[in-house]
Amino acid sequence: MIIIEAVIEEDHNNKLEFVKLMLDMVMMVHTNTEKERTTKEWAYILTQAGFSRHTIKPIKAVQSVIEAYP
């Protein structure tokens, strides 16, 4: 499965991290429980959904490409 989504990085070294954090705030304002997820949160969600492995590839955008494999 391919997911295009903003991923909050724990080390905060990405040039676009400020924009990602602002998107996180937008998600929290518009919904009660939703937020942008970290790499660790994506790993947990994908594992719980039954995917055996995944990769998160940053691209030259706010979003990253998440590839999940059965």
| 3 state SS of 61 | coil
pLDDT of residue 9: 72
pLDDT of residue 31: 65
How far is 70 from 67, CA to CA, in rounded Å?
10
- Residue by residue, pLDDT tens for the chain (70 residues) are 999 988 877 665 656 666 666 666 666 666 666 667 888 999 999 999 999 999 999 888 878 999 999 9
Q: Which two tokens stand for residue 66?
A: 């998440």
pTM of the model: 0.70
pLDDT of residue 27: 64
